[in-house]
Amino acid sequence: MRLERVRLARRALLAASVASAIALVGCGGKDGGKSSATTVAASAAAAPAATPPCDAEHRLTPEQTEGPYFKPNSPERASLLEPGMAGTRLTIAGTVLSTACKPVAGALLDFWQADDKGDYDNAGQRLRGRQVTGADGRYKLETIVPGLSPGRTRHIHVKVRAAGRPVLTTQLYFAGEPANETDGIFSAALAMDVQQEGGGKVAGFDFVLDLGR
């Protein structure tokens, strides 16, 4: 029931975001701003502002369990692709933001995930990599769509850390994945809308961190 309500809410927000898409450019939570669409649409009707209001209620990206397969010291790389690697190519891009909707420069993102068959590399660093956001707070990960691990829906692990702040450990999901319904860890707030592009897939996700100020 709860999942269904979340889905309905997301659908409503999506509709609102179409109407206010221009105002939302560059000021998104997840999925490029759908989460803030209602607020923006309402305030725009009341008093049009020269500067689009940044979402004061920007929701923090929820934490999730680390799981058993995190390894420290992953290589610094934005592409986890290797020659001959099986699987559908996937690019995830977005921005690390503060709750004040400011880009967070120098944030570390450490991704790890299963391969096309749902297996993790626990001996080496395959499909593991870290990168740091630039001045614009943006990141881009090139990888593959992970396979299904036993008991889990499709997911990608990530740790995000802004300088001097605690690490946010969470997971990203794929909207519309059938196994989302049966995975007790799945969170709709962490589900990416994934689009087909060329021979691969693309998705967007903005992380929102508490910078403590």
Which range binds Fe ion by CB under 5 A, 1-9, 62-70, 158-166, 187-195? 62-70
Nearer to Fe ion, 54 or 179 (CB): 179
Helix, coil or strand: residue 29: strand
Nearer to Fe ion, 53 or 67 (CB): 67
* Residue 67 binds Fe ion (CB under 5 A): yes
With contacts defined by CB under 5 A, how many residues of the chain interact with Fe ion? Answer: 1
As measured in angstroms, the least distance from the Cβ of 111 to Fe ion is: 11
If you ran DSSP here, which 8-state letter would residue 76 be given? B
Tell me which residues in 132-191 interact with Fe ion (CB under 5 A). Answer: none
Nearer to Fe ion, 132 or 183 (CB): 183
* Residue 118 binds Fe ion (CB under 5 A): no
User: For residue 193, what are its two tokens?
Assistant: 């809308």
Exposure string for 66-80, b = 16+ CB within 10 A, e = fewer: eeeeeeeebeeebeb
In order, the DSSP letters of 123-165 are SS-TTEEEEE--TT-EEEEEEE---PPTT--SEEEEEEE-TTS
* Residue 200 binds Fe ion (CB under 5 A): no
Write out the residues near Fe ion by the rule CB under 5 A.
Answer: 67
